[in-house]
Amino acid sequence: MEEGLTMRERIAQELALLRRHYGEDVEYREQGDWFLVPRYPTPELCQCLSTSVTFNLRPGYPGAEPYGFFAPSELRFGGQPYQAGSPPVAPPFPGQWTFFSWAPEGWFATNDLSSGSNLWGWARSFIARLREGP
């Protein structure tokens, strides 16, 4: 990270980027470094226009890439529920959540969010996993 940029400043920039693309109601919880995107677009076969997704940062972020995300357990693809993975920890947000094992391709974070890997790019990749179906 650039000189003087703290982890909290990086996260504030990441949150602003997520809010610019997913709406001002994107939430961040410092304890556990959790993000909640309340209106994430879904594939056509999910039979809803959007759903919530949540994810957290691993220790060592941004050098350590994020891993996995959650969607509400009631989300269906072609009428079938998604298969649950084993979550490392449950999200701090209300409701029942299904964990999706998912890793970014080519994670390379830089000091500049616009030129390196960032959480908006990470979140955008979730649609690929959702399209895979159960």
- Span 15-72, pLDDT tens digits: 999 999 999 999 999 999 999 999 999 999 998 999 999 999 999 999 999 999 999 9
pLDDT surpasses 80 at 5:
no
Q: Which DSSP state fits 62?
A: T
Q: Sort 39 into a burial class: Cβ within 10 Å, 0-12 / 13-18 / 19+.
A: middle
